Amino acid sequence: MMIMSAVDSTFFTLNEIATVIWQAADGRTPLSDIVANKICGEFEVDQDQAGRDAEQFVGDLSQHGILLVSEQPIPAPPPEAR
């Protein structure tokens, strides 16, 4: 999978694990849960290392304006907006 920053036109080519993170980033699921349940559940990786790598990946996307990092879940839109 490839994604591009609309801010600076930087392209990111995602490997399988990065693609799983990207697809699971719904604004409500903590990154630690994505790592534990999706990454470590599907791939044979150490959870501590996977967590560090995921944080680096998410940080890179955030710096390019591709992904918003928040300490709190993003509220779901009201039913009429869906």
* Phi, psi (degrees; rounded to nearest 5) at 11: -95, 140
In a domain, 14, yes or no: yes
pLDDT value at 63 more than 70? yes
Q: How far apart are the first and last CA of the chain?
A: 26
**pLDDT at residue 82 in the model:** 59
SS3 82: coil
Map 64-81 to HEC letters: CCCCCCCCCCCCCCCHHH
Count of structural domains, the chain: 1
pLDDT of residue 18: 94
Separation between Cα atoms, residue 18 and residue 73, nearest integer Å: 20
Residue 77 lies in a domain: no
pLDDT tier at 58, thresholds 50, 70, 90: very high
**Residue 81 has what pLDDT?**
63
Q: pLDDT per residue over 5-49, tens digit each? A: 888 888 889 999 999 999 999 888 999 999 999 999 899 999 999
pLDDT surpasses 70 at 73: yes
11 located within any domain: yes
pLDDT band at 74 (very low <50, low <70, confident <90, very high): confident
24 is in which domain, residue-wise?
A: 2-70
Is 56 among the domain residues? Answer: yes
